């Protein structure tokens, strides 16, 4: 039997977007939890993608964080039905969501985007490849 309640990489992506917006607003997990009537541990679980965010909670978060529901899904493609072609497969989309859910990924990406020099960006990529190969 399939457990439809398990979190997925999409849940992790939504959690990353939640954390990103909360931090952009300078809001602590404790403050967001207080506004939601939850423990800060529950907010942590949402942000890590360990727990799914239900539709009513997502709607509540939109109001508190000043975003539209689409904010939490920007960058994800909707898998299309059989016989409909798309440029990016669901597996590729979900792997992108999984990559962004990795600890520190959003911070790394944000700092990388702030680099003005193409040569600096190239050096960062080379350094990361070297470090990844050491493992």
At 25, phi and psi to the nearest 5? Answer: -85, -5
Residues 76-114 have pLDDT tens digits of 776 656 655 555 555 555 566 667 767 777 778 888 888
Q: With the C-alpha atoms ordered 49, 53, 59, 64, is the resulting torsion angle positive or negative? A: negative
- The residue to which tokens 């439809």 are assigned: 4
From first to last of its 135 residues, what are the pLDDT tens digits of the chain? 454 577 787 888 899 899 999 999 999 999 999 999 999 999 999 998 889 999 999 999 999 999 999 999 887 776 656 655 555 555 555 566 667 767 777 778 888 888 888 899 899 888 888 888 876
The radius of gyration computed from the CA coordinates of the chain, to the nearest angstrom, equals: 17
If asked whether residues 2 and 41 sit together in one domain, one would say yes
If asked whether residues 66 and 112 sit together in one domain, one would say no
- The residue to which tokens 């967001």 are assigned: 32
CATH number at residue 47: 1.10.260.40
The answer to the question of residue 84 being in a domain is no
Query: How many domains does the chain contain in total?
Result: 2
If asked whether residues 74 and 115 sit together in one domain, one would say no
- The residue to which tokens 């992108």 are assigned: 96
CA distance 105 to 26: 19
For residues 110 and 119, the answer to whether their CB atoms sit within 8 Å is no
Boundaries of domain holding 11: 1-78+90-102
If asked whether residues 62 and 72 sit together in one domain, one would say yes
If asked whether residues 2 and 66 sit together in one domain, one would say yes
């Amino acid at each position: 039997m399939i457990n439809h309640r398990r979190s997925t990489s999409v849940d992790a992506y939504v959690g990353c977007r939640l954390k990103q917006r909360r931090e952009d607003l300078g809001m602590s997990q404790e403050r967001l939890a207080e506004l939601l009537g939850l423990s800060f541990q529950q907010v942590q679980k949402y942000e890590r993608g360990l727990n799914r965010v239900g539709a009513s909670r997502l709607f509540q978060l939109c109001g508190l964080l000043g975003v539209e529901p689409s904010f939490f899904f920007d960058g994800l493609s909707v898998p299309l039905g059989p016989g409909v072609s798309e440029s990016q497969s669901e597996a590729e989309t979900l792997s992108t969501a999984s990559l962004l859910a990795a600890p520190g990924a959003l911070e790394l990406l944000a700092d990388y985007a702030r680099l003005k020099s193409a040569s600096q960006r190239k050096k960062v990529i080379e350094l990361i490849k070297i470090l990844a190969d050491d493992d």
